[in-house]
Structure 1
């Protein structure tokens, strides 16, 4: 799991659009046995979210302003450390509105999970949640709290950079794995060296680089890196 967290951090820093970050988070969540992820930033009553929850649930959550009573958000702000949770604990702690929130969350496949909160600037809080429809989530694979915090920060700052960056033409978009291998190539690493650093098979690393060359119309890896730098991808 240490390698998976490292890979998530690398892919987040290599991402040049939100789609790539979503892909990296989805890959990590699935590797840990979770079905959904949610990045949430709160500042006062204002919230910004980036998640893979069902669109219907996203609409209900925002329209009902559930961030006010969401036990995960409340606990994250109070504890400011990684913790696991289960919706089965919520009804006994609140009002009928909270019980309705709990029932709706379960109906949309959000019943348990783990959340990593990080204190941001100007009174804001960032948190990354991995959720499961199971009654109790298996959090045994997510134990490195320091690396988990680094992952949240990497995603937070990459999202800010992406928001200010020029959008690349769709045909030139790279997958999270292609971008990660490109980042290592830009640092002078060969395919075998990248394989050792990422845990990916060397031939698979070469495949990702070849696909990236095809998308950016580069004849060599050196040209690939140069084009990527020109377009602000690395």
Structure 2
């Protein structure tokens, strides 16, 4: 499967839109005997996801904030290495919410899988999961852990690049410098702090933020960050 992983990395880096990334991931998952995939990034209490799970399950998962109790997410953050899992191993007793999560996951065809976690910046965690409705997943199909990590990183950055390139504002796209300043603002950095991190003059940083606010029709920096997040820019 090393060749398939190499192909997945190449296809992710060459993808021009999310549809192409999803096609590459679906093809790889199916070639390995899995039915679904899910890329997920967590940062504090926030989550971003890109997956092929049933839409009904996506609505339930996000609406119920199941990512806060999901055993796969918890294990990924704890271990930070590739691992296989099965819902049948999750405790049958304990919090009713966890039992409900397990039962609903199995009901929607997510019973076992392999997850590849990668530590991101600012305390974030990225993870790529291949899931099956079968009782037990075969981890042996993903032998090369280093290539698996490369695949997660390639998908992560390609999704960010595509999101930044497709954010359409009333007066055009954000420039690379505007997008960078918005990204640091989303991390809670002030204009002077962003200036120190980027080597740009503080007044110039503020100019980029003001320009981005006008393009996205935001009244404040906080609203600018919120709009940028809604569009997948940060």
TM-score, length of structure 2 as denominator length: 0.70
The CA deviation at 1:93 is 6.5
**Secondary structure of 2:139's aligned partner:** coil
**In 2, Cα distance between equivalents of 1:16 and 1:95:** 43
Structure 1 match to 2:78: 78
**In 2, Cα distance between equivalents of 1:101 and 1:125:** 21
After superposition, the Cα gap between the structure-2 partners of 1:98 and 1:162, relative to the gap in structure 1 and judged at 3 Å, is same
Runs (4+) of structure 1 exceeding 6 A deviation are: none
**In 1, Cα distance between equivalents of 2:137 and 2:166:** 39
In the TM superposition, 1:79-228 aligns within 5 A as: 79-92=79-92, 94-166=94-166
**In 1, Cα distance between equivalents of 2:26 and 2:50:** 12
The CA deviation at 1:91 is 2.5
The CA deviation at 1:166 is 4.4
Structure 1 match to 2:3: 3
Question: Which shows bigger deviation, 16-25 or 138-147?
Answer: 138-147
Number of residue equivalences:
167
The structure whose RCO (Cα within 8 Å, separation 6+) is larger is 1
* RMSD of Structure 2 on Structure 1 (CA): 1.1
Do the aligned partners of 2:85 and 2:114 also contact (CA within 8 Å) in 1? yes
TM-score, length of structure 1 as denominator length: 0.70
